Amino acid sequence: MNRFDYNTRRDTPHFLTWCLRSVMIIAVVMLGSIEYAEGALQAALSSGDLQKVSKWIANETSHYHQPYCYKQSYGRGVGKPMKCKAGEAEDAGLCYTPCNPGYKGMGPVCWQSCTSGFKDDGAFCAKPKPYGRGTGYAWKFGDKAFSLNGARARCNKAHPQGCEKHGEIIYPKCKEGFHAAGCCICSPNCPPGQTDIGVSCAKKSYGRGVGRPLSTCPAGKDKDALLCYTQCKSGYHGVGPVCWQHCPSGRVDCGAGCSTSKKSCVKDTAKMVYSPIVAAGQTALLIVSGGTSSAATGTAGAAKAASKYAKLKKLWEKTKGARELIQDAKRAGTAGYETYNTTSLWLNEFVGDFEHMTTKRVVSELDRRFKGDALLWVKQQYAMNHLTLMLKADGIDTAESVLTAVSAFDPTGITGVIDAYANPKCATAEPFPVVTLLPPYGPPLPAPPLAGGLYTLTARHSNKCLDVSGASRDNGANVLQWDCHNGSNQKWNLVSKGGDIYTVAALHSGKCLDVAGARTDNGANVLQWDCHGKDNQTWRITREGDGYFRITARHSNKCLDVSGASVNNGADVLQWDCHSGNNQKWKLNRTD
């Protein structure tokens, strides 16, 4: 009996073994046909960039098909009271028209202000303490009869401010700001316009209208329920002290979560809150059963799927080696050719119905990023990744690793559902990854600098040129950025020292680009100095893409950097830890 001469009675384990063995042989043939199909179009992306794009598509697709998710949220602190509009005055939580100069608001009334030394008593200004002016100067023996001239003379002599008569007694006049109250007391004068009522001064007042509620928040704050909160980050909205995620595109708001439709909101919420374990188990059985929904719904269906899983597992343990029978696949002849055609048809249908297999947003983004054969190649690669994974992972492996292997490429979104039950948070919007199209789909990468060539070095963020300040020829002259003007103090001679290492010398002075004192710390200044060939004057120039280069000091491994990413003329050039900022990217334009 050869290896295929099994008993074909459908109730025997031999037949099941033969079926499983045959399916695996066909799978190997299909994998081989995939490898052949991959050569039909030129690659548009590197393997790393393709992996980025594939993961982005899988993430978008998985979460789009996820029926329900809880919104992500975070706290934004305690709210602070709102403020009045510009030009309004706040009082007791209300906003009023500001009072006139010299007046102070108290609710809807503007009251005259008290001057220094007076105590504010609401409608009155309590005076400072009065003072006495003594018993005065009276007529005495020796004075002219019936005359107070003698008394006045004695008073004037003792009190240069002068004296005055009250009754039959001469008193010194009150100090400036005071007036006589009776014979012997000097009382403070009331401020102009206020009425003197003895110990106090009655203020003037006028109405300024009914107060208005507080209505504005400071810049950078959000208004919510008469309080001001820190603004939520992009993609979130605030409700009191909590920032809640906006529902992803294609979802409707469902309270604390997001659902596929308003109609399903209540059902999805109840399902997530009350039966997450049961729901997750049913979905896992759906995968095990090969997508037969009836086998994964209801008690009887779940039991049937579980029984099928157990039988398949036992059978699989006896026939693991069947996957490796590639020679049998090669001897398949016409059957192998038919399998190849079937695979090609499957891929074409997948690509042709890409929106249904993924999402509308995925298709729109790919159409915007790629054109022609490059777009077709990306779609084919995603389809082949999905098919490859499903062929390499048999049903048992798929079920056992459903949240690890299959979720990487799952256009159906089934594994995204299971993942949602385990971690039911809505996905945040992921930006499309930064990738570079390979030739011939994209522009050819810029050539490296040529040894012995003259170049201008232009900062990407500011479009200004690397410049020796004032065209100085002195050692220590500062290097900075300036508007490009084609002067010789903006032209640099690159001399190769082997590989990507160069010295960079200013044309006008012949002096080298130098890190001051061979310092290795951030912020060390870059200047010109007599060329000596040491490592603080040698630079590694490496391609960054899009025609720009990174220039790195060899002694410190820090990058040539425009300080603070300034766009101003005269901004200093220094060394700093390398990062992805455009103030460390330079365009090298050949000038000779």
Tens digits of pLDDT across the chain (592 residues): 333 333 333 344 444 444 444 444 444 444 444 444 444 678 888 888 888 888 888 877 777 766 677 788 888 888 888 888 888 998 888 899 999 998 888 899 999 988 888 999 888 999 999 999 888 999 888 888 888 999 999 999 999 889 999 888 999 999 988 999 888 899 999 988 889 998 999 999 999 999 888 888 888 788 887 789 988 888 888 888 888 888 877 778 887 788 877 777 766 665 555 443 343 344 333 333 333 333 333 334 434 434 443 443 444 344 333 333 333 333 444 444 454 555 667 678 788 888 888 888 889 989 988 988 999 999 988 887 766 655 544 443 433 333 333 333 343 444 444 443 444 567 666 788 888 888 778 765 444 556 668 999 999 999 999 999 999 999 999 999 999 999 999 999 999 887 788 999 999 999 999 999 999 999 999 999 999 989 999 998 888 767 789 999 999 989 999 999 999 999 999 999 888 889 999 999 988 7
Question: What phi, psi does 268 have (nearest 5°)?
Answer: -65, -40
In this prediction, residue 115 carries a pLDDT of: 87
Helix (H) or strand (E) holding 267, with range, is helix 265-274
* Alpha helix segments (H runs only) across 402-546: 414-422
Give all domains of the chain, ordered by start, each with its CATH number: 13-71+260-422 (no CATH), 453-590 (2.80.10.50)
In this prediction, residue 61 carries a pLDDT of: 78
Q: Quote the CA–CA distance of 267 and 416 in Å, as a whole number.
A: 19
Residue closest to 202 by CA, chosen among 211, 215, 193: 193
Question: What phi, psi does 70 have (nearest 5°)?
Answer: -80, 140
DSSP 8-class letter at 262: S
What's the burial of 92, exposed, middle or buried (CB within 10 Å: 0-12/13-18/19+)? exposed
Q: Are β-strands 109-112 and 227-230 bridged in parallel, bridged antiparallel, or unpaired?
A: unpaired
DSSP sequence for 296-316: GSHHHHHHHHHHHHHHHHHHH
- Given a contact cutoff of 8 angstroms between Cβ atoms, the answer to whether 583 and 565 are in contact is yes
Q: Quote the CA–CA distance of 442 and 152 in Å, as a whole number.
A: 111
Residue closest to 134 by CA, chosen among 180, 88, 178: 180
In this prediction, residue 271 carries a pLDDT of: 57
In the sheet with 109-112, reading across from the earlier edge strand, the strands are: 103-106, 109-112, 205-207
Residue closest to 529 by CA, chosen among 577, 460, 479: 479
Residue closest to 572 by CA, chosen among 470, 461, 469: 469
Residue 387: CB atoms within 10 Å: 18
Query: In which residue are the tokens 């100067």 written?
Result: 137
Residue closest to 330 by CA, chosen among 45, 560, 32, 6: 32
What predicted TM-score, i.e. pTM, was given to this entire model? 0.36
Q: Is the dihedral of CA 491, 493, 443, 566 positive or negative?
A: negative
- Give the tokens for residue 229: 């909160």
Q: Quote the CA–CA distance of 453 and 443 in Å, as a whole number.
A: 24
Q: Quote the CA–CA distance of 366 and 62 in Å, as a whole number.
A: 17
DSSP sequence for 69-137: EEPPEEE----EE-BPPTT-EEETTEEEPPPPTTEEEETTEEEEPPPTTPEE-SSEEEPPP-EE--S-B
In this prediction, residue 427 carries a pLDDT of: 67
